[in-house]
A and B are shown apart, each in its own frame.
Chain A
Amino acid sequence: MKVTLISIPVLDQEKALQFYTEKLGFIKKKDMPLEGGNRWITLVSKKAPDGIEILLEPAPLHFEPSKVYQEALMEKGIPYTQFDVDDVGAEYERLIALGVEFSVKPTVMGTFKFAVFNDTCGNNMQIVEML
């Protein structure tokens, strides 16, 4: 068994695709049409094109518990998941310049530095750097 995919619930797949590729810098790997206007969209990191794919899943639009869970995390400021970066400070400045909104500025916690931003598709996301 191996891990190949993680899914991120998004409220708008096209908007998410633009945000995750144009602002965060992921690369689109697959984009297949499904029924009802939904798509199977996966992304990979530029640094690991053979690595784990992110699925931009429209679950909150079709499955109420997913919507409830996403809204509860957002309300409490809890990140849905996190991405590793080499330098949280530099990435924070780069994303701020692109208009990305942060709820937590770069913060040191023990042997890690992290920050939390809004992915504009219903989620808080965390970037993390190991110190």
Chain B
Amino acid sequence: MTFYQSEIQRIKKACFSNEKQLEIAIGVKNYIEANYEHNLNLDVLSHLKFVSKYHLLRLFKKYYGMTPRQYLIDVRIEKSKEQLQQQLSVTETCFAVGFESVGSFSSLFKAKTGKSPSEYQKEQLSRSNSILKS
């Protein structure tokens, strides 16, 4: 066994030995991925796993390093990139991935990617055109 493998085992024992907690965190993460377009919040997610919302918040952050809300936004932004590439409008994309306002979608998109949704869409279109021409 290498030094790395023994360190992995040590850290796993110290940090990831609570199977029940892991099952809750992973279950919630998978639920977010499968239902990102719906109105998800801590109440909904905590009822799902029969835990308090504060306990869920702590567990999710402990095992994923971010809150369920932050993860939901990341998933929605990634899904919105796919929709924009398929030439859906910014407004259609916004509602299709579960955001409730175009303003907040656009500002979150820009904060996460460095570009506005329309800039991103134009870039992707010009990339597809240049691939077709080459």
List residues of chain A with CB under 8 Å of any chain B CB.
Answer: 2, 49-50, 76-79, 103-104, 107, 109-111, 116, 124, 130-131
Contacts and interface: CB of A to CB of B under 8 A. Distances in A.
A105 to B, nearest CB: 11
A77 B22 contact: no
B53 interface: no
A109 B114 contact: no
B13 to A, nearest CB: 10
Nearest to A74: B2
A77 B2 contact: yes
Contacts of A76: 2-4
Contacts of A79: 4
B31 interface: no
A60 to B, nearest CB: 19
11 contacts: A50-B123, A50-B127, A76-B3, A78-B3, A103-B5, A104-B8, A109-B16, A110-B63, A111-B29, A130-B29, A131-B26
A77 B5 contact: yes
A111 B25 contact: yes
Please tell me the size bucket of the interface on B.
Answer: 10 to 19
A107 B1 CA distance: 14
A77 B4 contact: yes
A124 B4 CA distance: 11
Interface of B is mostly: helix
Interface in B114-128: 114, 123, 127
Interface in B19-68: 22, 25-26, 29, 63-64
Contact of A110 (B2, B22, B114, B127): B22
A2 B114 contact: yes
Nearest to B64: A111
B112 interface: no
Contact of A107 (B8, B15, B25, B64): B8
B15 A110 contact: yes
Contacts of B8: 104, 107, 109
B69 interface: no
Nearest to A131: B26
A76 to B, nearest CB: 4
A116 B4 contact: yes
B12 A109 contact: yes
B69 to A, nearest CB: 17
B11 interface: yes
B75 to A, nearest CB: 11
